[in-house]
Structure 1
């Protein structure tokens, strides 16, 4: 089946954070939203059909994880990531960020240190702070328009940290960490008694020519000292269903986390949480491959447009995901002026780079998971503003 990613779908009036919260966030409604990390593409028909079919039965009673939830995840991880997992390794979570909060509460105490590597997805440090833990920042290095880990600094900073929250692939930079980099992280963390939480929600959005490396698969050390968080929500555009899962290979760590989750029934999903995952993973290969091809074309289009029309703005080319970190430092603007250029001048709603940490100063995050015509319109508005 050929899917149409050029279709314009009006999302206004659906309580969409991306579209309907613009006025609340920016105080105006004339901005083209290119910020929140969901797609403007139609959620795949096989997911919607599974939900519609369930609604044909007119009793919405209590539910539990169907066998297809387990088997679809197991088969998907094997086929897509060459990872052999078993049923008992899987724990349902009502979202990745909530899962981070649960893990922080489960494995640390108030005042404990938790390390993050900015610029990085801001809930990593916000959730840590709100749970009364101390955030340790170990910044990434930007070299040749890609982010790299400063392992000398990493080794110093991780000392005394109970947890490392790893963005794998990286958000907002779109970096796919190599197996060697992940092995080194695993060894250093093991030496320091630091448990690794690997957020791999963007794993299935790894773009052609790159290969995602699951943290738990790179070495025995990584396998026995990690929790891996995954979800089909980003790849299949269904984050509103809040259906994620955790994979833990180490039996002791797994038992501790599952007991914590079960104590408050955090591991219980809602009616559609299980059905949607099974539908996405059982039927999604062709749709996802086409979506990734379209996203890659949008990334290439953005790169060409910037080079030809706005050379003062460059981009960190993502190796995974539809999020582009725009490097605007050559414009010579402070962050307030930069945000004003995008909002007041270009009438665009993007993520301010500094929300990912002070290392994001001079950057803006652009979401290109939209029809090409919308992306072209946004870039033209930015060009005119410049």
Structure 2
């Protein structure tokens, strides 16, 4: 299998294509939406579901639950059980449900910026307070402020953990997780771990719930296999009381899961998609290495932080630009779509880029970044 074919979004109602100005020659590295075709088994499963005409109400059967739990048991945490797995809606909705189910108005929720905006917005939209514990940048890496985290835990009810962390790509190691969970437990702070990018870790991966089974773990095939349109997440909750609280929150909003297309795609992906994933990761890691090496040599004032997980890169451009206005003009002039760091509550001038695309695109992006203002 060679993943040389990229998806053609023309006329397919793709947000990624429609969000771009679509000028001729535009390269979109913004949304976390891969350009690779999904596993062929997933496409075949969806085709079979559609041609059989079964597009009504469906349910997640034991066979589906079994292949999913086997995937995560084999890779990350052995204690997961199918009866402790909830099929939920898209991940952003799940974040809001967690806020509703496990906290009350004016409760404080801990986040670690720079961070994916819905962690903060899901709290603010429901009249919760956000307690920020920013990472400490040391020797070009993001480190946890354990002192700040302990102070925050003294007044907080819940902590949104994200590993690999979006957008900085940090993968929390076992010792970091152990210390964080120990502090959270000391102050009775509930930990909700978004591990949606776990299959994209380039380092040995530890799931937080493998250390403390009371951690609520959020998972999905959406980032692993690029199945965001399925709008289906997996919520692993070991504690029976928390399990009931979350399912009750879903019932209050009359959220039920009957997405037969998602179930067909997930069964195929978790059953047959591992070779595909390994190959895509190899391609993307090559893209990241190429991009990082090129910029270090040819555009040294753009600093790419080490990628530990995800198919994203987090780049500091503050040496070139004093504010985001200059960065916007620079990337627009070169017809490269990126996401600005302010979308992740970052201080300074940063951009996030998605490198899950063909190598020729990465080479062209590097060429455009290197060219002088006069050439453009």
How far apart are the structure 1 equivalents of 2:256 and 2:54?
22
The answer to whether the 8 A contact 1:233-1:239 is kept is yes
The answer to whether the 8 A contact 2:192-2:218 is kept is yes
Of 361, 364, 369, which residue of structure 2 is paired with 1:374? 361
2:13 matches 1:20: no
Partner residue, 2:238: 249
Partner residue, 1:156: 151
Measured at CA, do residues 375 and 252 of structure 1 come closer, stay the same or move farther in structure 2, by a change above 3 Å? Answer: same
Q: How does 1:354-373 map to 2 (within 5 A)?
A: 354-359=342-347, 361-373=348-360
The ranges of structure 1 where at least 4 consecutive aligned residues each deviate by more than 4 angstroms after the TM superposition are: 27-30
The answer to whether the 8 A contact 1:113-1:134 is kept is yes
2:267 matches 1:278: yes
* Structure-2-length-normalised TM-score: 0.95
Q: How does 1:179-258 map to 2 (within 5 A)?
A: 179-207=174-202, 210-218=203-211, 222-224=212-214, 226-258=215-247
Partner residue, 1:114: 109
How many correspondences in the alignment? 373
Q: How does 1:43-62 map to 2 (within 5 A)?
A: 43-62=38-57
Deviation at 1:322, TM superposition (A): 0.6
Partner residue, 1:291: 280
Partner residue, 1:338: 327
Partner residue, 1:10: 8
* Structure-1-length-normalised TM-score: 0.92
Partner residue, 1:167: 162
Measured at CA, do residues 256 and 237 of structure 1 come closer, stay the same or move farther in structure 2, by a change above 3 Å? Answer: same
Q: Deviations over 1:17-44 (max 9, x none)?
A: 1111223xxx967632101001000111
Unaligned runs of 5+ in 1: none
Give the RMSD, CA atoms, in angstroms: 1.7
Q: How does 1:36-185 map to 2 (within 5 A)?
A: 36-185=31-180
Deviation at 1:259, TM superposition (A): 2.8
Unaligned runs of 5+ in 2: none
Q: Deviations over 1:52-90 (max 9, x none)?
A: 111121242211112222011111011121423112110
Of 305, 317, 323, which residue of structure 2 is paired with 1:316? 305
Deviation at 1:263, TM superposition (A): 4.3
Deviation at 1:267, TM superposition (A): 4.2
Q: Secondary structure at the match of 2:224?
A: coil
How far apart are the structure 2 equivalents of 1:158 and 1:59?
48
The answer to whether the 8 A contact 2:164-2:195 is kept is yes
Deviation at 1:47, TM superposition (A): 0.7
How far apart are the structure 2 equivalents of 1:269 and 1:323?
32
Partner residue, 2:335: 347
The answer to whether the 8 A contact 1:162-1:193 is kept is yes
Deviation at 1:51, TM superposition (A): 0.8
How far apart are the structure 2 equivalents of 1:341 and 1:308?
19
Q: Deviations over 1:152-194 (max 9, x none)?
A: 1111123221111111111111111011111111111112221
Measured at CA, do residues 88 and 133 of structure 1 come closer, stay the same or move farther in structure 2, by a change above 3 Å? Answer: same
Q: Secondary structure at the match of 2:225?
A: coil
